[in-house]
Structure 1
Amino acid sequence: MDRPEENDPEFEALIAFVQESRGVDFRGYKRTSLRRRMTLRLNELGLDSFAAYYSFLEAHPQEFTNLLNTVLINVTSFFRDPEAWDALRRQVVPAIIGHNREREIRLWSVGCASGQEAYSLAMALAEPLGIGEFCRRVKIYATDLDEPALEVARHATYTLREVESVPPELLDKYFERVNYHYVFHRELRKCVIFGRHNVVRDAPISRIELLLCRNLLIYLETETQNIVLPRLHYALKDHGYLFLGRAETQLARSRLFQSVDMRSRIFMKVPQEWRRTPAGGLVIREEELPGESSRQIQIQDAIANSSTIAYLAINAEGRLVFANPAARRMLDVGEADLGRPFQDLPISYRPTELRSRIEEAQQQARPIKIENQEWPRGGGESLRLSIEVTPIFGRDNKPFITLVAFSDSTQMFQLQQELEAAQESLETTVEELQSANEELETTNEELQSTNEELETTNEELQSTNEELETINEELRSSNEELEAANEELRSRSEEFAQYRRYVESVLGSFDAGVIVLDQYGTAQFWNRWCENVFGLRSDEVVQRSFFDLDIGLPVHKLREPFERVAKGQETFSRINLQGIDRRGRNIQCAIRISPLVPDSKSSTGTLLIIEDLSDIVRNEEFTQYLGRIIGESLNEVYFLNPQSLQFTLVNQGAERKLGYRLAQLRYMSLADFMPFVSVDSLRSLAAPLLKQEKEEIVFETVLRPRTGQDYPAEICMQYFASEDPAILVAIVHDTVERQKVPAEPAASADRN
């Protein structure tokens, strides 16, 4: 079972068989999740292919139940995600009760599985309402695809483990213990209606105050989510609430819902200017007329949505307010176009100018019909449309709506052309027969027949001229499209040139060498750093082989790593080379070789980045040299913590003099070796340094090492506040054997 997940005919055949046999629609489910769960069932049965499982299902129909239990995810519990349920009780439940005083409250749990979620919702509302008021006003719809799970939900009987998440006070109040099981409250159970429902395919339940759809959307494809979300929006009343699972973030940027509590995934329906009919039509929301029944609205929606004629409606302000499904398919009108000015839409001027026709129809108060308008479609095909513009006036005799109907007259147009051709052929035949008859009669009649033939030829020429005009019009339209494409190409070319200048400016100011080579090693880019260091201008290098250049580096050593990277054998290569720059100085360079486009399957070029490490190497060598001198010095060098005055680092001379190793000294302070100076006195002495009032402090004292033999010493302290961390450095000189240089006599000095 190692064939690719996509376009697997055995897998698709199995899905189709399950859908046909049990009516379960898997078209919206993510194929990866569906395949993984079916594979689990195959492994349990020891089968090695989907074709074998297909045959097994045909021979064992009872296996369908096990398969659906595996595929349909029924992971649920009472009050799953307690924090989210607490937020629902605090923010949503009081609002729903307050908005619906004495009115029916309709709730819907989508994907209810074995019922725990629906019963959790019942308890959440029964608490503030009371059981009697709840039973009188609340109705909860709970739906799922899994019929065995619905059977469990209808029995409302759960084990001790399944009710562990129910708070003890609610468990005592709403459950009855029967033997080793817990049965949900019988009166509340009657208010929960369970049923099989496919939220993707079946019509949604309407006028819902709170809709729970937790952890269902994450198993659906993005396209299917885009179908389900408008259905959930349609099901909710205005300002109704939607409660999603913790892992579902599909509504973070949705225009259909606004966030009430994003952390708990609670959203509120945003009323739209348009409403979607169950069949997919779009219409601007209007105030309902007094006395108008919902049955009449359903009939009107059904007529508009099932019609093959595309209807658009434009209101008095010139905005598109309605587009039926046929219009969306035929004219490419979408949700985003509703509410926009009609004149801004392409359909207002293609296939013909409609704005002036709408004004004409409103002024003359009569329909205007436009025949045989060509409408290009994808794949080189085109339709012939008949367009009828009909003004509709309100009770005040002012224009209310303008209805534009587009009907497909392609077949009629073709039949008409065929009829005209047949008529022309028939006329030609009749004329030829008449001409032959007239030739037999008299020569005069022959001349008359010739004259008629000339007239026929003139008509043919006229028809040819009309065809040429049509071709000319098509060529003009093609020329306009080419001009638009050329303009777009010119705009992109300018953007590319600007981007190239930006990139060259950035790379030119880069404090490192940047070289771009093609797959053959030819230089394509050479930045300003390379010009300054190697002494070759960009125009002297570009389009030349990099490995033939004399730039002071042994570039031949780069050929092998370049070829490995170019062939995709390595993701990058790094090499250090010594060379001479254009001024004759020795330089140490670190060169990184990597693909120009990482993770590209084909070689598009190679990028070389060159860093000059000469100063870094010299600094490191000097630092090591200085460290050796200080470390081996006979003088004592202490690095102290500025606050505690404890040793953090000492040299070998300090270890020998004080009699302790560094590991021991880290737990001691300088004051521990100064028998005649207290810690506070030493801190007061160092305070001007720490306040940066002085650059250094020199003082004499007596130090007592581990041997107990005191010796006089001179200590020079400096504070380095800019280091990270800041450090206090003390250099100690043992003054026991300090010598003084004898001064020469003044007379001798004068003689000199």
Structure 2
Amino acid sequence: MAEKTPPDPEFEALLRYIQESRGLDFRGYKRTSLRRRITLRMEAVGAEDFSAYRSRLEAQPGEFENLLNTVLINVTSFFRDGEAWDVLRDHVIPSILGHGDSDRPIRVWSVGCASGEEPYSIAMLFAEAMGTKDFCRRVKIYATDLDEEALRTARVATYAPRDVEGVPPELLEKYFERTNNHYVFERELRKCVIFGQHNVVHDAPISRIDLLTCRNLLIYLEAETQSVVLPRLHYALTRDGYLFLGKAETQLARSSLFRPVEMKHRIFAKVPQEWRRPMGSFAASRMSRMDPPMADVRLLEAIVNETGNALLVVDEAGSVALANLPARHLLGVGDADIGRPFQDLPISYRPIELRGPIEEVFRQRVGVRLEDQEYRLNQAEVMRLTIDLRPLFNADGSVYAVLLSFLDQTRLHTLHRELEAAQENLEHSIEELQSANEELETTNEELQSTNEELETTNEELQSTNEELETLNEEARSSNEEMESVNEELRIQAEQASAYRLHLESVLRAMNGGIIVLDPNHVIRSWNRWSESTWGLRAEDVIGTKFDLLDIGLPIHKLRDALSTVQFGRAEYVDEMLEGVDRRGRRILCRIRVSPLSDEDGSTLGLVLIFQDLTEERSKEEYARYLGRIMGRALNEIYFLDPKTLRFTLTNDGAQKKLGYSDAQLRQMTLLEVAPALTQEAVDALLASLFSGAEKEIVFETSIRGKEREYPAEMCMQLFGDEEPPILVAVLHDTSERRPVPQG
């Protein structure tokens, strides 16, 4: 046999640095292959030696990922080595499905899954055999690898067309979705595949596995490392589990742990067996000392294996003398580790440094107990161990070995923490209950008080209800009264409307101007006479100040009158103003300024009444003209009231003749100056005038003056169409009449 090449210190130092920095232990990998791949990466980055490459890793932590991608050969594909997968489909999977209950869970472990093609291939075969619904309900596929970048790719489950060339067309159509020139694995099946980082050499194995695939991984491991990994794979499988290796892996050809199912395609079944501890120096020495029968040894080993705790024995030379089956499973101790120095095993320093306590047990000859030690199986799973170290004595009382017992206290630790949390919650709940009880008592008192208040309120509400009923009756009565008042108001409104229309009609019909001003002398009303006389429409002047009007009348002369009436210095003021109307005709207006008052006597504005006196003045002038002529006439002329025969007007001739003044005569009647006439005689004389039969009557009578009485001829004429009617009498004194000479 060729001698082993002595290890390169720099290379070994690099491996230790990688392990200490990133937890990646490559010590079990074949040195030749490992060295070649690390060298390839060193050449890619220009590192001259292992020491320089270590410096690069220290300076650039991102280089670890590139190194891992180079060391770990992620060569995989869907259904790689198709014939082997056919055997898996036709024989292995039906056998797994046929074992046990039809509803039992099925667990698959894909070791070194790379970018996920292998576990997804397994998923498709199981889904085809079981149906998608049953597959999703029963199957869990654990896919592990050291390369985190490859795991990220696997979780995305998106592949290029060249990556899925090995997938049969019918499966590609059924379990992949074409998206942007890529293929995405079916979502529901993908949920059943659990990816995680795991080191099969050092991390505890996943248990109760029905099918374990570990293809083309063992060929990169040293034989010694393989002897550690294979028992772990054996432990991971169920009693009827299957192991699927790569076609280049022949390690199990002569193994007692597995039997070939299909040797050509490297498919094996687990061989259940009792654990056999190799007989190392410790066992040999004990056998030589005690020399028990072989049957007793097997019985002792069976008892040790069946105990629930992981047991490990370290002899006085510091070597591992014994490890039972639970210790092998839990601590990763293989057959090759029996007889090795304890300090070379990871368990010597993980979860805690044990070499010091072991030496103390040898020295003090008393046991040591290490409580509550955290032992990390992998990144996700953590155990709590109590490590009990006890000395094993020879017959002479000397210590020949130390027994290490690893007690799993995880559940107890969890329960203790849960108990503490529950205790805290309980105390908190008690405090809350006490507080709640106090609040309830307070609330109860408040409720009692509230109840009393509610009773009082209820009584008040009943009283209020009665009052409301009374108010309702009053409201009905008020409503009826309001309806009556409303009817009255409606009638009044109609009357007011009629009155307003009547007033407007009166104002329009009046032969005079009516202008209404507010307190600021702004025009509020302008009747039709004003429109006709001044030529301005009502809508043009209403809202305009009266002082600003230009209507051919000297309005400024009314300012004093307006002020006098507005401020109550006179009840009214009459003004006579001459002006020019819209036709250019000169007119004389009498303007009466009166206050516009409310019921309280408050002045609301002014009312201006315009009266055109132009014609009256002409008539008066004409009457004065006639009066002057009548006054100079020689005959006596009398104007009498037709009903009372009282004198209303006399001329100068009548006044001189009778010797009375005009004022005296106005107090007298015709019968008083003509005593010869009686009322009956006068009525008879006037009857023809009143009936219209005669236009005038002439008769003779005597007239009694103040100084004398004389005969007179009286001519009377009735002007009945005048207003008022007037009776005109013309007297001629006949006493001075001379007879006409006879010829």
Q: TM-score normalised by the shorter chain: which range applies?
A: 0.3 to 0.5
TM-score for the superposition, normalised by structure 1: 0.39
Greater C-alpha radius of gyration: 2
